[in-house]
Amino acid sequence: MANQSKSLLDKQIVSQAIIDSFKKLNPMVMMKNPVMFIVEIGTFITLILSFLPDAFGPSTVSRGYNIAVFLILLFTVLFANFAEALAEGRGRAQADSLRQTKSDTIARLVQKDGSIREVSSTQLRKGDIVRVDTYDMIPSDGEIIEGLASIDESAITGESAPVIKEAGGDFSSVTGGTRVVSDSIVMRVTSDPGESFLDKMISLVEGASRQKTPNEIALTTLLTVLTLIFLVVIVTLVPLANYLTVQLDVATLIALLVCLIPTTIGGLLSAIGIAGMNRVTQFNVLAMSGKAVEAAGDIDTMILDKTGTITFGNRMAAEFIPVSDVSHSDMTLAALQSSVKDETPEGRSIVELAHQIGAVWNEHEYAEADIMEFTAETRMSGLNLPGGTTIRKGAVDAIKKWIAAQNGTIPSDLDEKAGHIARAGGTPLAVTVNNRILGLIYLKDTVKPGLKERFAELRAMGIKTVMCTGDNPLTAATIAKEAGVDEFIAEAKPEDKIAAIKKEQAQGKLVAMTGDGTNDAPALAQADVGLAMNSGTMAAKEAANMIDLDSDPTKLLSVIAIGKQLLITRGSLTTFSIANDIAKYFAIIPALFILALPQLQSLNIMHLASPQSAILSALIFNAVIIPLLIPIAMRGTKYQAMNANRLLTRNLLLYGVGGVLVPFVGIKVIDLILATLL
């Protein structure tokens, strides 16, 4: 999004995050994170010991040691709070940027008598009719019911190029806060104040509606259980130490507990979730919940509606096919002339294709031509030129009747070529000039560019793609092959789409569905991840749990990547955090008991300077590693399309083995520095 992706080290965000880190020390806030709440309790106890060393019994360590443990624990908690506050700060920065877009604009409300009354955009209600002229801000979400205009959506989508929106087409939906840059439109308001997409995005990125996902709740439960287990372990160390005549001070026990519980992932868990949600909004996708984002990371099957999702939805010119004895250039020029005054999507596509081929004509020479509009009765359209030349295009049977009435000749290969187009799933339009049929225009529902490559990427991730369409099997097979989907369902009714989703879900698979029509709404509601196109109907958008503001069906690939990235990031840092404990175990346990049990010398592989130095080194490393991992938590680990086994192996080697080796190096370096200072 434009101006919304704030830098991770933005001074304003960082300074506010530092302030919020202290505010989050409130125990009522910290209780939401059990791991860090335990660390905060330990921080409070060591604070007491810093002033009253014998408050919990005789102490054998200095006041300075207690103060050092207190300060390190305090910074551990603050670093964890800072990570969460930084993620929230980036969300607030995005929300502020969106609020600048959402301003109280003046709307031209159309009255029942057709007159215009200027009102504040906050007074608009669903169903109101509004006129928006050139350079005006669109006052609310709506649907164009009259006109065509070029609209600058950069404030919402970040794309600088304006987009064409028109009444009656797939691209009739407009978003409040965007601006009309040419022509004018009449729109129907589709949302009440506070219910627009922009309002929902602001709420989303601020985190006001963010709830923990099932995966996150399960991981929090695991971390809590591990914390309780280590708490029991630390408590049992006291009688064991007494038996061995080893004095374990309260500050040392707290330090040991903090080092062994998974504080790293405990401190970063919330930041990972918030950052994942923020990344989705940066791809111009409105996610209704964090659960939907996470579910996208585990998708097995993706079901797509054809019309408006895989294809543009409008029939577009694909080829000009001349009949016998007619040159391709003559046919191309005739097709251009028959459509140059045709403002329908089909007509514009014919003109565009003719221009691409190189056909040109002087429009001024035909300024006085009579335009023959398409009607359901004639099923033709075209021009009558001043010199008597007649140009028509239309359905093949309609043109044949027209020629027969004029005593013209029907080309012998016309029906054969028209049948070939029909069998390929296209629509043939015949073109005639002065009662002579020159050829056929091949209209087809064109597949959106880039889809085949994106579907190949989904296949590499192990995700199956299924296209649903109401077309006959022959047409469906043609489109499916061109788009590159794995399977297709032809002549599909809304209940067939739901049945397909339920069939996949019954096999234990998670299913994503993309669509844009009212008939897609039930399937979007049934799917685990329902992504509706912003250009689609309100029914589809209300049924889905995600809305793509760019109306790009391949956007789900990006959402899936973000979902996988979120899950992988969480798993990677959890692995790293638990692996850290192995190194900290080798650092602290031998140092504590080596005097009473010389046999532990074989475990003292780091040869740290002293028991106190070992504990402080491990504690400092435990605190410092949290801010060092914040960039990974915020940006996510790098995701590459590969199978689950390779992905697991890579992450175990990188974050598992790395999580064991890095602390050995880090703790040893810190110990050498402490030994020098002390």
- Distance CA(310)–CA(518), nearest Å, equals 16
Residues 610 and 639 placed together within one structural domain of the fold? yes
Binding-site residues sit at: 342, 346, 374-381, 393, 516, 520
pLDDT of 358 higher than 70: yes
Residues 467 and 545 placed together within one structural domain of the fold? yes
- Distance CA(639)–CA(647), nearest Å, equals 9
Q: Name the domain boundary from 408, 443, 478.
A: 443
pLDDT bracket for residue 5 (50, 70, 90): very low
Active-site residue, from 141, 152, 199, 305 = 305
CA 32-260-564 angle, 5° bins: 60
Look up residue 120 and give its two tokens. Answer: 């504040």
Q: Name the domain boundary from 390, 423, 443.
A: 443
CB < 8 Å & 24+ apart, contacts of 468-477:
468/303, 468/304, 468/305, 468/306, 468/492, 468/496, 468/497, 468/500, 468/523, 469/305, 469/306, 469/307, 470/306, 470/307, 471/306, 471/425, 472/425, 474/423, 474/424, 474/425, 475/424, 475/425, 476/306, 476/425
In a domain, 495, yes or no: yes
Virtual CA dihedral for 219, 225, 227, 228, nearest 10 degrees? Answer: 160
CATH of the domain at 437: 3.40.1110.10
Instruction: Compute CA distances 556 → 298, 547, 575, 598, 612, whole Å.
Output: 13, 10, 28, 60, 53
Residues 545 and 464 placed together within one structural domain of the fold? yes
- What would the pLDDT profile of 169-222 be if each residue is shown by its tens digit? 656 778 787 888 888 899 999 888 777 666 665 665 555 444 566 677 788 888
Judge contact between 289 and 216, C-beta under 8 A.
Answer: no
In a domain, 141, yes or no: no
pLDDT > 70 fraction of the chain, expressed in percent and rounded? 87
CA 628-621-63 angle, 5° bins: 130
Tell me the DSSP string of 227-273: HHHHHHHHHHHHHHHHHTT----HHHHHHHHHHHS-HHHHHHHHHHH
In a domain, 79, yes or no: yes
Q: Name the domain boundary from 392, 417, 443.
A: 443
Q: Report the 10 Å Cβ neighbour count for 240.
A: 12
- pLDDT score, position 77: 93
Average the pLDDT over 60-79 and give the result.
90
In a domain, 395, yes or no: yes
- pLDDT score, position 72: 93
In the numeric block, the tokens 């970063």 are attached to: 268
Average the pLDDT over 626-655 and give the result.
81
Average the pLDDT over 390-394 and give the result.
88
384: helix, strand or coil: strand
pLDDT of 387 higher than 50: yes
User: Which residues 6+ apart lie within 8 Å of 372 measured at CB?
Assistant: 380, 381, 382, 383, 384, 392
Binding-site residues for ATP sit at: 342, 346, 374-381, 393
Look up residue 363 and give its two tokens. Answer: 């429009």
Binding-site residues for Mg(2+) sit at: 516, 520
- pLDDT score, position 352: 87
Q: What does pLDDT average to over the chain?
A: 81
* Number of separate domains in the chain: 3
Residues 353 and 368 placed together within one structural domain of the fold? yes
Judge contact between 431 and 340, C-beta under 8 A.
Answer: no
Residues 379 and 508 placed together within one structural domain of the fold? no
392: β partners: 382, 432
Residues 432 and 452 placed together within one structural domain of the fold? no
In a domain, 528, yes or no: yes
Q: Report the 10 Å Cβ neighbour count for 178.
A: 23
Positive or negative: CA dihedral 519, 520, 524, 530: negative
Residues 572 and 600 placed together within one structural domain of the fold? yes
Residues 434 and 458 placed together within one structural domain of the fold? no
642 vs 302 pLDDT, higher one: 302
In sequence order, what E strands does 368-522 have? Answer: 370-372, 380-384, 390-395, 427-433, 436-447, 464-468, 487-489, 511-515
- What would the pLDDT profile of 558-572 be if each residue is shown by its tens digit? 788 888 888 888 888
CATH of the domain at 300: 3.40.50.1000
Pairing of strands 285-287, 142-152: unpaired
- Distance CA(17)–CA(187), nearest Å, equals 42
Look up residue 585 and give its two tokens. Answer: 């175990």
Virtual CA dihedral for 223, 225, 231, 232, nearest 10 degrees? Answer: -160
Residues 432 and 524 placed together within one structural domain of the fold? no
Residues 331 and 435 placed together within one structural domain of the fold? yes
Question: How far out from the chain centre does Cα 298 lie?
Answer: 14
- What would the pLDDT profile of 509-541 be if each residue is shown by its tens digit? 889 888 777 777 888 888 888 888 776 777 777
Residues 18 and 88 placed together within one structural domain of the fold? yes
- pLDDT score, position 560: 82
In a domain, 129, yes or no: no
Question: How far out from the chain centre does Cα 440 lie?
Answer: 42
136 tagged catalytic = no
Residues 568 and 530 placed together within one structural domain of the fold? no
* Single-letter amino acid, residue 303: I
Phi and psi torsions of 409, nearest 5°: -110, 135
- How many separate helices (H) and strands (E) can be counted in the chain? 23, 21
Pairing of strands 427-433, 390-395: antiparallel
Q: Is the pTM of this model over 0.75?
A: no
Domain range for 391: 315-443
- pLDDT score, position 67: 92
In a domain, 171, yes or no: no
User: Which residues 6+ apart lie within 8 Å of 376 measured at CB?
Assistant: none
Q: 347-356 as b/e, with b when 16 or more CB fall inside 10 Å?
A: bbbbbebbee
Look up residue 522 and give its two tokens. Answer: 């039930």
- What would the pLDDT profile of 141-178 be if each residue is shown by its tens digit? 888 888 888 887 765 554 555 777 888 765 677 878 78
In a domain, 139, yes or no: no
pLDDT > 90 fraction of the chain, expressed in percent and rounded? 9
